[in-house]
Amino acid sequence: MKDQPQVVVLLVKAWVARKGILYSLPVSENKWISRLWSPKEASLQLADHAGNLINIADDQELVYPNKIKFHSPSEHETYVRRWVEERTAFTSGFTISFYPGKFDKEKRSILAVGDITEVIPDDEADIAVLEEPEHLTWYHHGKRWKTKFRLVIGVVHTNYLEYVRREKNGLQAFFLKQANSWVMNIYCHKVIRLSAATQDLPRSIVCNVHGVNPKFLEIGTNMHEQKWKGNQAFTKRAYYIGKMVWSKGYKELLQLLGEHQNQLADLQVDLYGNGEDSDQVQEASRKLKMPVNVYPGRDHADPSFHEYKVFLNPSTTDVVCTTTAEALAMGKIVVCADHPSNEFFKQFPNCRLYKNGNEFVKATQIALADDPAPLSEDQRHELSWEAATERFLRAADLDRELTEKPQLSSSTRQFMSLSLGTSFLKKSMEDASAFLHHKASGIEVARRALGAIPGSLQPDEELRRELGLSFSPSEKHGGSKH
């Protein structure tokens, strides 16, 4: 084993439409892993705010906020590093590399192109953390991740089944569930699900490994200091912020407000967000008898949000809602659905849960009348990047040496031969499954039938040239291993 194992974090989401991005983090000891990992927005959540290089102008506008366009990987990298430092005060000393990818407009997902494991040198292939591992493995055709790396950890962020169910496509949901389990078993040693809102997966553990930017905790401290000094800290009432698409909680919120507007007649709600359904949300809001204002999206740490007392979030499609964590960190009362995606937040006294419309009304009315409770030091820590890092290290078994082997008791040794036989059988079945996926993912007709982007089996000339990939498609196809 090398003295300094490499942790490679592969990101998707809004990163990869024409290109993907990965970080290579050299690690000398677990403490350093924690220090490098703790700025979660630097290592795991940049996708919401940074773009990627897409040569097709229409695709750039679909993926990147504020019509940002990048003309080269180096320009994109400069933007990323500047954004990290400005937002987190974190100097990015890690390596950033790009891998081929394309944006699927129908799925609104970013999918890898070709064998992206080839982008990572073999001598740096120690630990891989696959963010949105489904995107990186559904149509993967190349070297098997678990062959390339000693440890592969998938971090599942998205409740795909819920989105498909909302389209009332039961058959597609069934096949998607099976496909997710199939590829996770083949390619990941361990899977971390941010909440139980996601489907159960092989070798998975439920653990929220997200934290909030320290500035949200600072805002919360400042607001409660104002209150302690006798000033009125929370002068505004209720709001919601999120991408303005119906599936992100707006449908549920406007439905709840519409059904109970007589009980909530004197409540004013402000909505903040940008998205494809903005016009429809504004139109639906105007039809309500109660005042509901719709504003463009902005950073949740913007001063305009500081004085709101109550954050209303009825969304059940999020796996763990980042804005809920940020609102709690800022000292606000959060009214949210009693749902597995909100399990982590139940430990905070300012989290008020409801199971139906009547409970929503009651929880909202009480929240408006109450004063938010100040967070204890332990509660502040639970929301922090540091605590999220500690949870990640434990969940991924990175809080101990990779070479450490479990000690076997005498009773365990009695079943060693049976265990070895069972393990061999499982390994053989997994290898056969991987072989089948490798073969199917290498046939264009099969890929298209399963929903892959046309022409995504290998990167085209333009992608190879821009990313400095010297191999040709034929060479890559012939040399890939499963």
307-365, pLDDT tens digit by residue?
Answer: 999 999 999 888 999 999 999 999 999 999 999 999 999 999 999 999 999 999 999 99
Say what percent of the chain tops pLDDT 90: 46
Q: Give pLDDT, residue 71.
A: 79
With CA atoms as reference, report the closest residue to 120 among 81, 159, 148, 155: 148
Q: Give pLDDT, residue 31.
A: 31
Q: Give pLDDT, residue 8.
A: 63
- Let me know: does 150 contact 402? Beta carbons within 8 Å: yes
- Let me know: does 399 contact 393? Beta carbons within 8 Å: yes
Q: Give pLDDT, residue 9.
A: 62
Q: Give pLDDT, residue 32.
A: 32
> Mean pLDDT over all residues of the chain?
80
For the ranges 29-38, 58-67, 394-403, 427-436, the maximum mean pLDDT occurs at 427-436
Q: Give pLDDT, residue 72.
A: 79
Mean pLDDT along residues 97-121: 81
Q: Give pLDDT, residue 400.
A: 63
Q: In terms of pLDDT, which residue wins out, 416 or 319?
A: 319
The half-sphere exposure of 352 on its side-chain side, counting CA atoms within 13 A, is: 25
118-168, pLDDT tens digit by residue?
Answer: 888 888 888 889 988 988 899 999 999 999 998 999 999 888 888 788 777
Q: Give pLDDT, residue 102.
A: 80
- Let me know: does 383 contact 366? Beta carbons within 8 Å: no
Q: Give pLDDT, residue 365.
A: 96
Given a cut of 50, whether residue 475 has pLDDT beyond it is no
Q: Give pLDDT, residue 107.
A: 76
Q: Give pLDDT, residue 478.
A: 45
The β-bridge relationship of strands 95-104 and 109-112 is antiparallel
Say what percent of the chain tops pLDDT 70: 78
Given a cut of 80, whether residue 456 has pLDDT beyond it is yes
Distance CA 366, CA 99 (A): 50
The pLDDT confidence band at residue 476, using thresholds 50, 70 and 90, is very low
Q: Which residues have CB under 8 Å from 384's CB, separation 6+?
A: 211, 212, 214, 217
For the ranges 44-48, 250-254, 467-471, the maximum mean pLDDT occurs at 250-254
Q: Give pLDDT, residue 423.
A: 64
| Tokens 């073999």 belong to residue | 122
Mean pLDDT along residues 267-272: 96
The pLDDT confidence band at residue 412, using thresholds 50, 70 and 90, is very low
b/e burial code for range 341-380 (CB count within 10 A of at least 16 → b): bbbbbeebebbbbbeeeeebbebbeebbeeebebbeeebb
Mean pLDDT along residues 399-427: 52
Mean pLDDT along residues 54-74: 66
Q: Give pLDDT, residue 179.
A: 92
The pLDDT confidence band at residue 17, using thresholds 50, 70 and 90, is very low
Q: Give pLDDT, residue 295.
A: 96
Q: In terms of pLDDT, which residue wins out, 41 or 91?
A: 91
With CA atoms as reference, report the closest residue to 64 among 81, 79, 52: 52
Given a cut of 60, whether residue 16 has pLDDT beyond it is no
Mean pLDDT along residues 234-252: 93
Q: Give pLDDT, residue 471.
A: 53
Q: Give pLDDT, residue 109.
A: 77
Helix (H, G, I), strand (E, B) or coil at 413: helix
66-93, pLDDT tens digit by residue?
Answer: 777 777 788 888 888 888 888 777 777 7
What six digits make up the tokens of 129? Answer: 């953390």
Q: Give pLDDT, residue 58.
A: 53
Q: Give pLDDT, residue 455.
A: 86
Q: Give pLDDT, residue 336.
A: 97
The pLDDT confidence band at residue 406, using thresholds 50, 70 and 90, is very low
Given a cut of 50, whether residue 409 has pLDDT beyond it is no
The pLDDT confidence band at residue 461, using thresholds 50, 70 and 90, is confident
Q: Give pLDDT, residue 161.
A: 83
Q: Give pLDDT, residue 173.
A: 85
Q: Give pLDDT, residue 96.
A: 81
